[in-house]
Amino acid sequence: MIVDCAIYRDGHRTEGPEDLSDALAGARAVGGFVWIGLHEPSEREFELVTEEFALHPLSVEDALKAHQRPKLEVYDDSLFVVLKPVVYEPESDAVTTGEVMIFLGDAFVVTVRHGVGSPLAAVRRRLEQEPELLGKGPTSVLYAIADATVDHYVEVSAELQNDLEELEADVFSPESGGSRHSASRVYGFKRQIMEFRRATGPLAVPLTRLAGVGTLGGSVPFVDDKARPFFRDVHDHLTRVNESVEGLDRLVSDVLSAHLAQMSVRQNDDMRKISAWAAMAAVPTMIAGVYGMNFEHMPELRWVWAYPAVLAVMAALEVVLYRTFKRRGWM
């Protein structure tokens, strides 16, 4: 499952080794580094890479099983970094995350990709067109992958912002009338933001270490200290993304709360209208009920105008109630 394997010297690509076991020795012999890219390797397929580059068993286990949070771990012979690229699907309004594991050593880079969201092919092509950057060694690969991942976060954040504006306009539009499906749509959108947040939030700590910012700053093995300004730039972009995601999450919660309050107000309006019509129906029912309680002294049996009078009283009371409820906004 090796997608690509090449040795880089002075920022230029050379032919990959015929035998993977000679990759590291060949890279060191020419004063360069080897970059091996794998896609969802099995345990058996990964054994040769593990032996050749002396990768730590714990990091190998994480790389094979995937489903890791973004993190940075330092071992004796390598640095292990986990990133979670994100893909946004406009057709389904769904956020899908992949995983990229990076093993970084003094003269090697091993990248392991899981899922569909991965910028590695484009990153390799871009780096090969920038020999000055690629000449910085394995650190340049780590920087380029992190930069491409975070830049795509910015694009996804903008897409989510646009979709939230459309969702907000639809939920509160008069035509929607507070549809019962609106709450489920808002909640579904909140789930997508949460998925996005799981990729961007934990990455702040590893980038803080790489950038040498704050109390976590310090030298990171296998990473050139001169690369810190570049990682600070990536860290700044990630900070803006996390602030944007935080704002989106709060806004979605506010939209959901406002929608539920709007539904509650509409239900109260409906109950007032039902109560008003019930009150109007109760008046003639009450009069008819009183009439039916006494058959011996019913006035209409001896008074010709009894029925018209009672009907007139009913109509007058109905008009009075209707105007009263209408004036109070109940109808």
pLDDT digits 0-9 by tens, 101-135: 999 998 899 999 988 666 688 888 888 899 888 88
Using a 10 angstrom Cβ sphere, with 0-12 exposed, 13-18 middle and 19 or more buried, the burial of residue 110 is buried
pLDDT at res. 142: 94
117 shares its domain with 30: yes
182 and 323 in a single domain? The answer is: no
Mean pLDDT of the chain: 81
Between 91 and 136, name the one with better pLDDT.
136
How many distinct structural domains can be found in the chain?
2
pLDDT at 30 (0 to 100)? 82
For residue 211, CA distances in Å to 173, 225, 295, 307 come to 46, 9, 97, 93
Determine the Cα–Cα distance for residues 293 and 253; give it in Å rounded to an integer: 58
Whether 166 and 120 share a structural domain? yes
Q: Which of the listed ranges 164-173, 225-234, 309-318 does the model predict with the highest average pLDDT?
A: 225-234
- For 151-185, the pLDDT digits (tens) are 999 999 988 888 888 877 777 776 655 555 677 77
Indicate whether 297 pLDDT > 50: no
Q: Quick one: 294 and 314 in the same domain? A: yes
278 and 237 belong to one structural domain: no
Q: Which one has a higher pLDDT value, 100 or 171?
A: 100
- Indicate whether 124 and 6 sit together in one domain: yes
Give the neighbor-by-neighbor strand order of the sheet with 71-74. Answer: 12-14, 2-9, 33-39, 108-114, 99-104, 79-83, 71-74
**Predicted confidence band at 192 (pLDDT cuts at 50, 70, 90)?**
confident
pLDDT band at 82 (very low <50, low <70, confident <90, very high): very high
**Domain final residue, candidates 263, 278, 311:** 263
Q: Are 38 and 30 in contact (CB under 8 A)?
A: no
Pair (95, 178) in one structural domain: yes
Higher pLDDT among residues 150 and 42, named by residue? 150
For residue 175, give its domain range: 2-263
Orientation of helix 204-211 relative to helix 228-291, angle to 10°: 160
pLDDT-wise least confident of 95-109, 202-216, 229-243, 275-289: 275-289
Give the range among 8-17, 37-46, 269-278 with minimum mean pLDDT.
Answer: 269-278
Judgement on whether residues 230 and 106 belong to the same structural domain of the protein? yes
Q: How far is CA 124 from CA 144, 150, 152, 262, in A?
A: 9, 16, 16, 51
**Residue where a domain stops, chosen among 227, 248, 263:** 263
DSSP run (H or E) holding 52:
helix 43-53
**Matching residue, tokens 């909640």:** 187
The span from the CA of 253 to the CA of 246, in Å, is 11
Q: Looking at 50-59, 115-124, 264-273, which range is the least confident one?
A: 264-273
Check whether 212 has a pLDDT greater than 50.
yes
pLDDT at 96: 86
294 has a pLDDT exceeding 60: no
Q: What is the pLDDT of residue 181?
A: 67
Q: What is the pLDDT of residue 31?
A: 84
> How does pLDDT run across 232-266, given as a tens digit for each residue?
999 999 999 999 999 888 888 878 777 677 777 67
Please, what's the b/e burial string for 18-38 (b: 16 or more CB within 10 A of its CB; e: otherwise)? Answer: eebeebbebbeeeebbbbbbb
Judge if 165 and 278 occupy the same domain: no
| Strand partners of residue 204 | none
Q: Which of 76, 92, 74 is nearest to 185 (CA)?
A: 92
CATH code for the domain in which residue 33 is found: 3.30.460.20
Q: How confident is the model at residue 201 (pLDDT cuts 50, 70, 90)?
A: very high
- List the beta bridge partners of residue 114: 99
Say if residues 244 and 164 touch (Cβ distance below 8 Å). Answer: no
Three-class secondary structure assignment of 66-108? CCCCCEEEECCCCEEEEECCEEEECCCCEEEECEEEEEECCCE
User: Could you report how far apart the first and last alpha carbons of the chain are, in Å?
Assistant: 71
Between residues 161 and 277, which one has the greater pLDDT? 161
256 plus 296 within the same structural domain:
no
For residue 305, give the CATH number of its domain: 1.20.58.340
Closest CA to 43 of 64, 67, 68, 21: 64
For tokens 């992949």, the residue is 98
Task: Decide which of 229, 245, 263 is a domain's last residue.
Answer: 263
Least confident among 47-56, 231-240, 264-273: 264-273
Same domain, 161 and 291: no
pLDDT of residue 87: 86
195 and 319 in one domain? no
